[in-house]
Structure 1
Amino acid sequence: MDSDSVLSYDMKMEILSRTSLKTLDAMRCSNKEFNKLAYDSCFLNMYKKKNNVVSGLIVQSISDRKFVKEFIPSRESTSLDLSFLPNSAPVLASSEQGIMVLETNSPRRVMFSICKPATKQFLLLPPNIIKRYKTIMVAVIVVGSTPLRYKIVRLSQPGELERLRWPSTYCCEVFNSTTWTWRQLNNNITLPHSVFFSRPSITARGSTYVLLTDGNVMKFDTRSEKWTTFSSPVTTRTIEVYPYMKLVKYQDKLGFACKQLNGFWEIWVLAVDESWEKTYVLNKEDTRRMSLEGLYDLNTSVMLDHNIVLFCGFEGGDNIRTVISSPPPYVTFLLRSDFEPVDLGGHKSPG
């Protein structure tokens, strides 16, 4: 390529800033340099202002048997009105494409709904297959953006009496927005004795990952719809040294965060060959006692301390500190969205 044809940094910024969220995500996948640039905090702040994109943290708490939902915007983002969501429906999962899954209780059974909060679109899903089991984990994976296509993965467990017969056994159902149906996978998931799922799950590169309490990671591949297990950076021998562990998303990759009792958060990233590489140590004194909720961009972590949400830069700069109006405990979900209506589904494809 001639030197005259090489795009300058400013031109690349200008090109990316003129794209829609769908195009931006596609360009991230097609070019390593664009991928890194599109996760840069300076670019993201400019992009949000220019394209009316909302991003931040959904904080959910429970009070008087009602689920209170509050949106905490990131830098240069507007807020998001969540008052239209029913107080009886907890959020279970969210995606970077601006949609999330809620649990909706009907008189006879638990139902699920899909929602795009930025456009206030809300659609009830058909009844799932396994009725009486307790929901353990839900994840939503966007498999296509034009038109919107997604899958929802639900892990459930039998009630107390049935667990006596099938201890540590879980069932998996998958909802496909294209066929508008649920399907139960043939093989149940059986975990070793005294090993459990740790929430939340993380979706990266078309797969869903969930951390186990023994330090291993389970992966659900959206295409094959099969579960596999691999090791995290914290082995069984060192798990007692790192009492705090969770999965996070780093750019479009799976990340693993761990912290010693009085130490700093370490961030590891899963490479293509499924080896782990240590990427960051969040060595700020005021974040030692905080809970890491996620990684917002290349240079910003999202921390939680009692009723305080902190968007904290890795290498200095101003932090954004927001007080949550509802009392703890909290469940949090990162969300990014435009304000364009989408087709959530509700109809089967021919054939």
Structure 2
Amino acid sequence: MASFEINADMITEILSHSHVSVVEKSRLLNKEFNERTHSSSFLKLKLQNTNSVSGYFLEYNRRLKAHSTFIRNQKNIPHKSEICLDFLPRGRKTDPLRYKIIRLSHLPSKEKSRYNFNFTLLCEVFDSDSFAWKRLSKNVELPAEDIPGVRMSEPVAAYGFLHWLTANNNVLRFCLKTETWSFLTVPENLASDRSLKLTRYEGKLGVFRSRSKEGVDYQELWVLESSLGSSWVKVKKIESMGLEPIGFLSNDVVTLADVDKKFLHNYNMNNGKSQKLQIRSPGFSPNMDASLSYFHLCSDFKRVEFEVGLVFSFSFYMVTEETRV
């Protein structure tokens, strides 16, 4: 039987017209297509060929109330059609959307006496399938050297886990399928570095490390090769230009934030070009809203007609997290 060679460019073009779930499956099946479909050139094709959107949700707190706004990567959403989930009725859920909320909190006073040497947190999980909260039978125990515990930052999703960095640079992770906790270690030569920040790169868990040499600030990117392994590989050296790394829009575009938190910069590491995005939201003040969280979103969408106007429906898997420590 005659064999034939797969044309990678043709497959990439086909995937750029495909649903986001098809693209995700191709990434799991083939290493080359995982790299290709995480590139900025593929993202550009996807935005051109489908109803898709790419950017960041920014969450900030004002007077003990959470607010959010969406920062678009490109002007690929029609005018006056901003992304918003406020149209969803209170107390309702939609299929096939499923989400979980992870809540960490201090143990009740009557239980603290059982845990004298470790920093222990109670974990509760809300599952939209059952639409109920449950307390996990096993608490989260951190070693004494990890006091005061988990860093207050948004988790990083990779390999079916949510990941947090602890005070002593261990990685605490929660398996969404089994609802169990475990630990990972960062590269040995980074263990004492206080500048570490978790990120996601090509679907894998990564960590930023801030460095400076001869007056030039830059970031090292280390990536965990496998969810079952402990081997980290340094894959990038990124000039940070005095800006804070937020995450990766693609495998060749890193997003950086201004010190004054008024702008994001999408920096292309291949050609050195940068796209400047202004953060705009009613009532948002970077000087007053110090606690900011950024969540990357790349999704398909479709128009839904209602009498009150247009709403855009998105097809993406959402994981929501709440942390109280």
Query: Is the pair's TM-score, using the shorter chain for normalization, greater than 0.5?
Result: yes
Instruction: Note closer, same or farther for the CA distance 1:231–1:170 as it changes in structure 2 (3 Å cut).
Output: same
Could you state the TM-score of these two structures normalised by the residue count of structure 2?
0.76
Shift of 1:41: 0.7
Cα drift, residue 304 of structure 1 = 0.7
Per the alignment, residue 44 of structure 2 pairs with: 45
**Is contact 2:265-2:277 (8 Å) kept?**
yes
Pairing partner for 1:323 from 253, 278, 291: 278
Range moving further from structure 2, 161-170 or 329-338 = 161-170
**How many positions carry a matched residue from both structures?**
283
Secondary structure in structure 1 of the residue aligned to 2:77: coil
Distance in 1, matches of 2:85 and 2:18, equals 29
Superposition deviation, residue 6 in structure 1: 1.6
Compared with structure 1, are the counterparts of its residues 6 and 173 closer, same or farther at alpha carbon in structure 2 (3 Å cutoff)?
A: same
Distance 1:157 1:2 in 2: 65
Shift of 1:81: 2.1
Structure 1: distance between partners of 2:64 and 2:105: 22
- State the alpha-carbon separation in 2 of the partners of residues 44 and 2 from structure 1: 34
**Length-normalised TM-score, structure 1:** 0.71
Which of 189, 202, 209 aligns to 2:156? It is: 202
Q: Equivalences for 1:20-35 in 2 at 5 Å?
A: 20-35=19-34
Query: 2:300·2:314 contact (CA, 8 Å) conserved in 1?
Result: no
- Are 1:155 and 2:123 matched, yes or no? no
Residues 148 and 342 of structure 1 are in contact (CA less than 8 Å); yes or no, is this contact kept in structure 2?
no
Higher relative contact order (CA 8 A, sep 6+): 2
1:311 aligns with 2:266: yes
* Residue 339 (structure 1) aligned with residue 301 (structure 2): yes
Aligned to 2:82: 81
> Whole-Å Cα distance in 1 between the matches of residues 255 and 14 of structure 2?
28
Note closer, same or farther for the CA distance 1:248–1:13 as it changes in structure 2 (3 Å cut): same
Contact 2:301-2:315 at 8 Å conserved across structures: no
- How much does 1:39 deviate? 0.6
State which of 265, 288, 304 in structure 1 corresponds to 2:219.
265
Q: Check conservation: 1:253, 1:269, Cα contact below 8 A.
A: yes
2:250 matched to 1:301?
no
> Which residue of structure 2 lines up, in the alignment, with residue 58 of structure 1?
57
Residue 232 of structure 2 corresponds to residue 276 of structure 1: yes
For the structure 1 residues 36 and 84, does the alpha-carbon distance in structure 2 shift closer, same or farther, using more than 3 Å as the test? closer
The answer to whether the 8 Å contact 2:300/2:315 transfers is no
Question: Percent identity over the alignment?
Answer: 27
Say if 1:203 and 1:44 are closer, same or farther in 2 by CA, change over 3 A: same
CA distance in 2, matches of 1:162, 1:302: 45
CA distances 1:179-226 after superposition (whole Å, capped 9, x unpaired) = 333221111112234242122211112111111110110122223322
2:8 matched to which residue of 1? 9
- Secondary structure (helix, strand or coil) at the match of 1:12 reads helix
- Backbone CA RMSD of aligned residues: 3.0
Mapped partners of 1:343, 1:39: distance in 2: 18
Report if the CA contact (8 A) 1:265-1:288 is conserved. Answer: no
C-alpha contact (below 8 Å) 2:299/2:315 kept by paired residues: no
- Does the CA-based 8 Å contact 1:61-1:327 persist in structure 2? no
Q: How far apart, in 2, do the equivalents of 1:43 and 1:316 lie?
A: 16
Kindly tell me: are residues 71 and 6 of structure 1, through their superposed partners in 2, closer, same or farther at Cα, counting changes over 3 Å? same
